[in-house]
């Protein structure tokens, strides 16, 4: 008996959610950001998995869709790696059985807080064009 693949689409971001993500990045992951020992001790009380110097994010590329007024893709580029998160990430694929995200906001925020470690499929080479 053939199994049917569940088509999965992750919910896109609202403008407000996108703004919240950008503010979070600016606060905790900005490029060349340094924090004192005291400040880092405070940060890890709230975000215990966050790296000491953040992800050193230099650029955030977003794609906004006017049809439904949402942001459906974000690329994060910096010294901490280059990652892409999109609402159609699993288009034509099966999500892992342990996958718990149905919206981009919680996926990206968990990544930024250090609670989600993306696999290679979320990474991209910024020197290659599609």
Residue 26 pLDDT = 95
Yes or no: say if 54 and 80 are a contact pair by the CB < 8 Å rule.
yes
Report which of 33, 29, 101, 34 is spatially closest to residue 60, judged by C-alpha positions: 29
pLDDT of 5 strictly over 50 = no
Residue 93 pLDDT = 76
Yes or no: say if 23 and 81 are a contact pair by the CB < 8 Å rule.
no
* Number of C-beta neighbours around residue 18 at 10 A: 20
pLDDT of 2 strictly over 60 = no
Domain ranges of the chain: 15-122
pLDDT digits (tens, 9 = 90+) for 111-123: 999 999 988 788 8
Residue 70 pLDDT = 95
Residue 8 pLDDT = 66
Helix crossing, 104-113 with 15-28: angle to 10°? 10
pLDDT digits (tens, 9 = 90+) for 23-78: 999 999 999 888 899 999 999 999 999 988 889 999 999 999 999 999 999 999 99
Residue 130 pLDDT = 55
pLDDT of 6 strictly over 70 = no
């Amino acid at each position: 008996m053939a199994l049917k693949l569940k088509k999965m689409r992750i919910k896109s971001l609202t403008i407000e959610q996108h703004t919240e993500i950008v503010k979070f990045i600016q606060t905790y992951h900005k490029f060349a950001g340094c924090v004192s020992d005291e400040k880092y001790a405070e940060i890890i009380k709230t975000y215990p998995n966050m790296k000491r110097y953040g992800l050193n994010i230099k650029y955030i590329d977003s794609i906004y869709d006017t049809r439904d007024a949402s942001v459906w893709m974000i690329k994060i580029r910096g010294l901490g790696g280059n990652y892409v998160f999109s609402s159609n990430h699993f288009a034509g694929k099966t999500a892992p059985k342990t996958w718990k995200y149905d919206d981009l906001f919680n996926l990206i925020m968990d990544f930024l807080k250090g609670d989600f470690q993306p696999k290679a499929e979320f990474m991209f080479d910024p020197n290659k064009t599609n």
